[in-house]
Every structure is written in C-alpha cells, then in structure tokens.
A and B are shown apart, each in its own frame.
Chain A
C-alpha cells in the first residue's frame, strides 16, 4: 500500500509541476466572469445559466484533464527511461498501474471539486441558491466518471503511445457520453443488423449518463435515494476495476528494451 501511495504522490508532484490544472481553472474563471458580465435584458438575479454552463465546462475540463494526465503516465516513464529504475525496485506492475491510477484519479478529482467550488461560489455570490446535498452527490458521481476515464486511459496507454491512447480514450469516452444514452432511440430507427450492433455497443460500453446529476442540481430536485446512489457508485467501481484489470493484463507481460522507447 505504501508503494502505491508513493507512486500516487509522484503523479501529484508531476501534475502540479506541469500546471495544466491551473490553466484550466483560470480559463474557467475567465469564462464565468464573461458569462456573468452578459446583460440579460437588464434583468437581475438570473444566474442559473452561469451555473449550467459552468458545470458543463467543469465536465469538459475534467474530461480533458483526465485524458491528458491518464494517457501520459505510463508512456512518460518509458520515454524517459525511468521505467527501468522503477521496475528494478520491489514494485509489482499491478501496483504501478494502481498507483498511477490512484494519483491521477485523486488529482483530477480534487481539480474537478475546485471547478465545482469556483462555479458554485461565483453563482452563489450572484444570488443563486445551492442545493448542498445533491451537489455533493453530483461531485462524488462525477469523481466516479473520472475514475473510469483514467482507468481507460491507462488501459490504452499500457500498449500504445500517449497520443494514440489519448485518441482512443477520447473516442471511447465521447461515445459513452454522447452516443450510448441515445442508442435505444437509434435502435428504433435502425433495426436489423445495425440495430443489433448498436445494442451490442449499448451493453458493452460504459454508461456515463447515469453519473450526471447536473439537472437535479440546477433545478433543485433534491437528493437521489441512497440505494440508487450506491448502485451507481458500485457500477462505476466495477467498470473502473475492469479497465484496470485489462490495463494490468496488457502491461504485465510488456517487454521494455533501451533504444526502442524513443517513439513514446
């Protein structure tokens, strides 16, 4: 466990050094200020649109951050050659995978929580009322999505270079966000072989739509039941575990040779 935590700490240091998160936070702040400065026909007290767009941007920025961090962790070790010194230590490859995942997940989750704090803080200053309970649920479930994205990124980057892994992770997660929730609708129009293929994808790909509580937060519909919350969390953990297991399977027998890693 100590080894996993040490690896996670190294990820934190690396991310903080690169300053990706600060840039996104500043960008979000600028966009929120620009939105707040918009004149809505001279009407006061109209703030929900700022919270809505702010939360949408938080989802997009956390997605970008999760992919960019998750996909470079393993290839970076290989391109720098530090993988040799790392594997020379008593660290198992499974621990390496889990340590990297834990570090990336925790740092992106904290960054996302800060995005939420910024969005909620700014809109509350303008008079918006925050439903705290459902907002906390939304942050936790968003954290589960980040866990899945980073696990998928690690799975792809276990065998591919960072660019290819980022592309595939981006395509997979974008499909899960945008296409998968609408498959039941498309199947009605498609039918036949196409419909069957879509159903296969519906059951195969992760479902991110059940983690999205933005509408409940924005329209103040109150918290979801504990049973539902736990079921969704368990689903998130299961998908994350599957991706991490696949990452480990891909990485455990990977052979590293000096001189062949410059392409990473």
Chain B
C-alpha cells in the first residue's frame, strides 16, 4: 500500500471506520467478557444478558420488539434469510443490491422498473404484482445513486393486494421486505413507519463492525434457518452468538440515530458544495439520482463525466490520495456496466465515466475542498489526454497503406 501526503476517503457507502466509542464498547467482549452465552454458569449468563441487552437496544432503536430481531453475520445474510420466508414468486426493483439480485436469479421473479432518477413508483410495484407474488423487496435507499424510495406508499399497494386476497379467500401470503442498510443513520428508520414486513440492517455502514447485521420480521412470519447449529437466535441461526458484534451494533446504531439530524445537515451541505463546484467546472457532467433533497441520501454524489472511463479516474485519484468508488463494489470488480445505471437509462458513454462519492463522519470541510480540486485536476487532465491522443479506433486500416 502506498502512502500519500494526502489521504481522503470518500467511499463511505462501501465501508465505514468503526467509531472509537463503538470499539470501546466492544473491546471487553473480546477479552474479559468472552464467554459463550449458552454456558450455564454466571459468566455465561452475563454474556447472554449482554447479548439480549444489545438486541433490546437495537429493537428499541427501530421501534421493534426484541423477539422479532434476528442477528446475522451482515446484511447479505439477513437478505437471504428474508427471502427464505416464502417459496413463491418475488418482485424486486431493477436497482437492488447484488445480494438481492443473486438470490432472485435462482427463482421466479419479476423486475420492477424504475424512473430515470431511480424512483420505484407505487404504480410500478402494482404493475409487477400478480396473484401469485409472495414477496416484494425494495431497498429503502439505493447505495449507488442515493434514491430514497417512497416505501410507505409502496407498502400501501402491498397491503391493498393483501386485503384483496383476504377478501377473495386466497391464501397466498404477500410480504414487503426492505434492505435499509444504506439508509440507516441517514434516514429515520422505524419498522412500523416503513410499512415493511421484513427489514434488513447492517452495522458495517454505520461505523460499526463488519459481518454484523439483523433481520427484523413482523409477528407471524415464519423464517427458515440458513445456518443450522445449536439452536441460537430462536433456532434461526446456529453458531455461538457474536456478543461483541451485537454490542457494537447497538452502540453504533444509537450513536448514528442520536447524531443523525445534525450530521445529515453537515454532510448534505458538503455534498452540495462538491456537486456545485464540479458541475461549474465541468458543465457536461451528469449528476444522477433525485433532485429533491428529501428523496436523496445526503452524503452521496453520483457524478458522470461523459467520454471518460471511471476506472481510470479512480486509479488516477488513488495516485493522488483520494479514494472514491465507481458504484456498487461488486459491480465494479466484475467490470460490467452497472445494472443500476442501465436501469435508469443512462447512456453507456455517460455511465462508463461515473464516480460515486460518499462522504462520512470523518469527512472535513478541508478534505472536501482538497478533494474537489484533485478530482477537478484529474478529470481535466484525463479530458486533455483523451483529446490529444490520436484515434486508435477500429478498422482504420494499416497506415502504411
């Protein structure tokens, strides 16, 4: 790893550093309070108590009952657990996270189209439902272009269909799942106000540890375990519980909620500065996602520089000490055009030049100022290079004649 005089991290939608307060809360559970919560002696019972306290705090933070919260090793597992509650056809938006896409590929599913700003309209959800649909899954906020979905209105559509089935005497279940991973800490996430029946959350994006997440499921939804073992998590997830992780998760979520309003104001102001400056310098740049502030994640800027290759920009920025993403990490590493950008109808020549910049708790005003200068310089240099180079285009023939 190279060291730079400048080290500006602007990819908080990919990973966040564990907050020092969170780490401090977790540490005792690695050393003196390491016990197995299933152990019969006092130390074990204390570990069990710590785990259940953490579960209680997590539940309270999202307006839920502790018994409905299953702790998992991260959001991907929680999503897998959620989809296991039914066997029938599912409907998901065209811009869901890789983990959802991978799950539905293997089963009968409908893809719900999105608006050019990434919005999933209730009408589009309605259009995708059939009498056989058993699960609808829409992320509360999209992690690539930052669209915040009208989940409440979508849940009305789901509820109306459920009502219709009840009245018609049909027994096919229908649930609404939302992956709130990218929304947590930035939006108010309360299970009852989302209107969802299943909610996924992760500690990794809210300054907590990785591989720690949860699935909340409404009463009466029968989940099926993915990991069989010693009956932990009400038999829904075998394996000795990650007490330190649960404690860290609870602490991280409480901190994020406590600081949310102030922090979002700060982040959106910084993000707006960044957007304004870059768009002024590069008037052809395209900003994706909703325009309305309330429909947009406050820390995220998705900006495309037509005619440039984002992968080159990321490398060039890395060399200058600025870390940014090109979108979902999974899509980027597989080097194909982002599914999300295809779904919103962004032209390939624009999509290929897209950067996803996400600010976070450690991001300072000075960093944003420096980053804007560096991004501007790198983009300008790349435009100059592209303009100066000759055309190696296909089929121009051998110039020897």
| A-B interaction | no
- Name B's A-contacting residues (CB within 8 A): none
- Name A's B-contacting residues (CB within 8 A): none
